[in-house]
Structures are given as C-alpha cells and as structure tokens.
Structure 1
Amino acid sequence: MEKPSIRFQDIGDDARRQYVDARATFEAQRAAQLKASAVRGGMYWKNVAQGEYLVRTSVRNAQKSLGPRSAETEAMYASFTQRKQEAEARLKDLSAALTRQQRLNRALFVGRVPALVVALLDMLEQQGVAEHFTVVGTHALYAYEAAAGVRVESAAVATRDVDLLWDTRKRFKLATQLQRLDASMLALLRKVDKSFALVEQQPYTAVNSDGFEVDILRREVQEDDPHPARLSQHEEDFWAVQARNAEQLVSAPRFSAMVVAPSGHMARMNTVHPLAFARFKRWLARRLDRDPLKVQRDALQADTVQALVAEYLPQLQQTLDP
C-alpha cells in the first residue's frame, strides 16, 4: 500500500524573514545575559584596621577579599565596574529589542508552539538546567519545522504532554544545580504553572489543572546509573521512568532551534537530530506491544520528519543516515 504524500504549509516570506530577525535578536540577548551573569554581584572597598581591602560580593551576599588596595586591585575594580556597566547596558538594550521582536512575531503569526511549552523551555534555561533535558516526544517536531520554515500537518503535533529525557550521565551536575537553587524539579516546574502536581502511582509525571502533562524519562539502567532515580533530594519530586531504547536518543547528535509561541515569546528547544527522531519513531511503530492508537501517529511522525529533512533540511542527511 502506497504511503500518502506528506504535505507542508509554507509560513510565507514575511514570517520567515521575521523568524530569522527574531532568532538573531534572541541569540544576541541570550549571549548578553550570559555575559552579564559573569559580573553579577559587585565590588567595594572595605575599611579595616590594616587599611582598605577590595571585596567581591555575590548575589547571595557572599563576600571574598581580593587583597589590600594597590595598583593591581584598583585596576581590577576599574575593569570590573566597566565590564558590569557595559554588560548591563547591552542586556537592557537587547531585552528591549527582544520585546519588539516578540510583538512582531505575534503580528506576523510566526509561532504556534503551546505557550506553556515555550515557558517551560525558557524556565529550564533561566534556571541553568536546560542542558540536562532533551525534548524527545511529539513537541520535537516544532523545532524541526521552525528550522525548515514550514509547518507540518496538525495531526502530527497534536498532544497534551511533553516528554523530557533526563541525561543520567550528568546527574551529579544537575543535583548540584538544584541544590544551589534550593529547589526540586517539581518546584521549578511550578514557576511556570503553580497547579502542577505529581500523579499518584506515576511519579515520573506531573499534570496541571488543564490536564497538560510533563513526563521525565531516562535511559534503561546501565553501568553506574542509580535505580530508581529521583531528580533531587526533595521528598516531593520526580522519579524518572526508564524508556525502552532511550539510549539511542541519549547518544544521538543534538539539534537545537528557537521556537515561538502564538504570543510571540521565544525559547530554545534542545532535542535530537531529526533523523534520529524518525528512526526512533519508526522503531516504536513496529513494536508489537505498542498501543495501537499510537502506532499510526508514530509512523506519521517518522514519515513527516524524514520528508521534512529531504525537502527542506537536506544538509542534515549528510550527518546521520535515516
């Protein structure tokens, strides 16, 4: 039986140009944000019995002496003050520019990613934990279509949950960051929507008052992987669930794209190489124990992504065979 042809909707030249402009501003603003974070806190001269000392302060008011006043510490102070002023001014300007781009995104209908998903991705980045999670479910298609400048058919992206694959190889780094934030992963999720709560008897899933779910997945246990594995030491937090063949996704090349909500807000989505996604979905569709209701969509997504790469992202075919 011949497969139906896969159709894509072109977003139009105006929306495509706007996406490119917004992406440039978004990336510049994120780079400025990172640079400004390096000079957070402050420096001041502290008078003590022995004289004046230069003190570096953190945002949490931790203090560190950098030495007595001298030509060297005065140069340090001057350099820090200048870098801080420049970084903060640049961040302020780019943040204002980003707000303008958000309005243009909305006016030109650039994005259609659910607002909650964009807010979730932005939160992960702002809290410094984005590197530990990869979008591996249906929502990954939004990253692929954004990079291609088209839209896939709605049936391929219809879902009420987002799957985040946790890289257990970096579990200690995540634990350290959560400890620094004094927060659980669930607490971070509640910064996006305070109604999120863990599902009883299914602690790898949190659901909000609208029925939208966030699932935390992990590869099957191997080597020194802990099992079971909770994301933090907080009693009320996610326990990641093992996903069959997820090692294929953990080891796949990464793919990242800026995604846009209907409101115009933007976030970076980190997922896997499109053809790795298609390969995994093809494998799922062929499993005899797969939910029959999901098999058709698995196959549709695999076909859609493979066709998308062939038609709009051919350069990616050279980096991974389907």
Structure 2
Amino acid sequence: MNYIPLSDNAARQAIDSSTIFGEFSRVQAQARQYVGGMYWKQQGEYEYLVKTQLDNRQQRIGPRSPDTEKIYADFSSRKQAIEGRLSSLKDALKEAERLNKALKVGRVPAIVISILQALEAAELGEHFTVVGTHALYAYESAAGVRIAQGALATQDVDLLWDARRRVRFIADMARLETSVLCVLQRADPTFQRKEDQNETAISASGFEVDFLRRQPEGDDPHPFRFSDDEGDLWPVQAIRASTLTSAPRFEHIVISVTGRMAMMRTIAPEAFVEFKRWMADKAKQRPEVKRRRDRRQADIVQAMLDEGLLPLPR
C-alpha cells in the first residue's frame, strides 16, 4: 500500500487541532495591527494623540478632540479584546500540540515546521511555495492518510520564490531590515549559506533549504539576492520553475512529529502530478533512482485524487 488512512482518533484530533491553529493564526494576524500603543502627549497648550510602534517609532495622530478620543477608545478596547482572545487560544494551542504528539497525528520533520513558522512570523510566507517531495505532507494531511515513508524520505526542502511579486517582496525585506538567511536562523541558528551553492542554506545536522526561481521573464531581476546582505541567499533558476510559479496553489495545515503546526503553501495536486511525470519521463540527465521516485510520487497523488481524497480544481 502506498498510503493508509489515519486512525479515527488521530483523524479527529487533526481536525480539532487544525481548527484551533487556524483561529489562532487569524487572531494573531489581527493582533499585528495593534502592536505598540497609544497615549496622549502634552505639548505646550495642546494635547496630541500619539501611536507608538514596537521599534519606538511614533506617529502623531492629531490633537485631542472627540474624533481622536474615539480613535483612542476604539484602539484600546479592541487591543485588549484581541490580546485576551489570543491568550486563550495560546493555551488551547499548547494543549492541541500536546495531544497531537500523544496521538502521533503528525510526522512532518520538526525543522520544516520551524522554517515555515519563521517565514510566517516574518510575514514572508506568501512569497515562497513548497515544491518537490515535501508537498506530499500537505496532500496527506488534507486526505487524512499516511503516505509510505519510502516515498517521502529526503533531507532538503525546496522553496520556490515568486518573482512576479518581487516589488512587494523587496518592500517586505526593507521593512524587516534583515536577510532571508537570518530568518532561517530563527528556525535553526546553525543555518549557513552552503559553500559554492549560494541558493542553499544548510544546518549543522545537514538539512538543506534550496531556494528556486523561474527563468527570467520580462523585467525579472537577474541575478537576484534576497537582500543587501552580502551573506544572503540567491535563488537559482530551476528547470520548468515557470510552470510551478504559475500553477494553482494549495494550502493546508501540517503537523510535526512534536505536535507543532504550520500552514504549508504548495502547488495544487494536479500540478504536482503533471510536473513529477514530466521529471520522470522527459527531464534530461535525471538519475534513474530519482525518476522512479518521481513516478511513484505522481502515482500516489493521482490515486488520492481518483479516490476523491483530495479536492479537485474548481
């Protein structure tokens, strides 16, 4: 068998914990809009409402008036409500993670979850798509099955950078004032850029993160480094990456062996099947052992589609 269904207990826990994680993520995104605080500042005869940021920057909203008093009251009450709900959800999430681990609900490598969480925390998640073998974790989570371990084993994850969104990406990186490599180091401090492979970060345990991009089109920047940091990573042009860049997207919550969760953004299962079949049959100089794995992975995902375990395109 290439895959087997989750036990009833594990399947039920996966649904429950995913619901909690989804709500936690939604409220956490709301909370980002209320970082910092507001206070009244006296300046001479006038009193102004000031908005503060986490980095101590300040923004003057306006002189005290009925309108600014309402802004202050609405901000304060909304911030308090969101922080209270987020606190409760943090407790629920911690318990969900404990049950996930106890019931062996997930098996995504812990480092992959940490990487996805680090990208999301930096608000860079939408710029990267998981492609290759690790996409199978999203499909099996959505289908409620366990794929045979032999089809999954790999010590690297491929992240496709979307060059079509480069203007937004550059703005996001400027806001962060950091590098993509530094973001990865929040997941594992031992990540370093691999010698002679500027597109790859490797950890002390040998786990690799490869950053891919499509062949340059139109005004795509080339070559392109993620930030001004000379030690940062450069996404490499990958075979048929333009097909993956334009493929429909598929998102699903995935769970690690430790119970922690993350949202995985990948390509639609149909696009995965088509790409893997092309790699197996037409990719030049592809080692035969990888061709066999490509065919097996394509067959597994197609079988899940045929059984109705995965959603079909709308």
Place the TM-score, normalised by the shorter chain, in its bin: over 0.9
Aligned position for 1:310: 306
TM-score for both structures, normalised by structure 2: 0.97
CA distance in 2, matches of 1:232, 1:293: 36
| % identity of equivalent residues | 49
How far has the Cα of 1:67 moved from its partner? 1.5
Structure 2 counterpart of 1:193, from 188, 191, 196: 188
CA distance in 1, matches of 2:40, 2:311: 55
Residue type at the aligned position of 1:290: R
| 1:227-266 correspondence to structure 2 within 5 Å | 227-266=222-261
1:31 equivalent to 2:26? Answer yes
Identify the range of structure 1 (49-58 vs 104-113) with the bigger mean alpha-carbon deviation.
Answer: 49-58
CA distance in 2, matches of 1:51, 1:224: 51
Aligned residues: 313
Structure 2 counterpart of 1:10, from 2, 5, 16: 5
Identify the range of structure 1 (123-132 vs 282-291) with the bigger mean alpha-carbon deviation.
Answer: 282-291
Structure 1 counterpart of 2:79, from 84, 103, 114: 84
1:75 equivalent to 2:70? Answer yes
TM-score for both structures, normalised by structure 1: 0.95
| 1:61-210 correspondence to structure 2 within 5 Å | 61-210=56-205
Structure 2 counterpart of 1:19, from 14, 23, 46: 14
Alpha-carbon deviations, 1:4-57, whole Å to 9, x = none? Answer: xx5311111111110110011001001110111111111101011132111111
Structure 2 counterpart of 1:220, from 215, 218, 236: 215
Residue type at the aligned position of 2:14: Y
How far has the Cα of 1:315 moved from its partner? 3.6
Distance 1:186 1:315, change over 3 A: closer
Asked if 1 retains the 8 angstrom alpha-carbon contact of 2:143 and 2:309, the reply is yes
CA distance in 2, matches of 1:224, 1:17: 48
Alpha-carbon deviations, 1:121-172, whole Å to 9, x = none? Answer: 0111011000000000100000000000001111111100000000011122
Distance 1:159 1:45, change over 3 A: same
CA distance in 2, matches of 1:159, 1:120: 16
How far has the Cα of 1:314 moved from its partner? 5.3
Distance 1:243 1:111, change over 3 A: same
CA distance in 1, matches of 2:309, 2:45: 66
**SS of residue matched to 2:59:** strand
**SS of residue matched to 1:98:** helix
What is the root-mean-square deviation in Å for CA atoms of aligned residues?
Answer: 1.1
Residue type at the aligned position of 1:149: G
Residue type at the aligned position of 2:247: A
Aligned position for 1:3: none
How far has the Cα of 1:313 moved from its partner? 2.6
CA distance in 2, matches of 1:314, 1:57: 46
Asked if 1 retains the 8 angstrom alpha-carbon contact of 2:143 and 2:310, the reply is no
How far has the Cα of 1:227 moved from its partner? 1.3
Asked if 1 retains the 8 angstrom alpha-carbon contact of 2:97 and 2:258, the reply is yes
**SS of residue matched to 1:228:** coil
CA distance in 2, matches of 1:67, 1:196: 46
Asked if 1 retains the 8 angstrom alpha-carbon contact of 2:49 and 2:64, the reply is yes
Distance 1:297 1:39, change over 3 A: same
CA distance in 1, matches of 2:268, 2:311: 12
Alpha-carbon deviations, 1:103-138, whole Å to 9, x = none? Answer: 010111000000000110011101100000000010
Alpha-carbon deviations, 1:223-244, whole Å to 9, x = none? Answer: 1111111111110011111111
**SS of residue matched to 2:113:** helix
Residue type at the aligned position of 1:289: Q
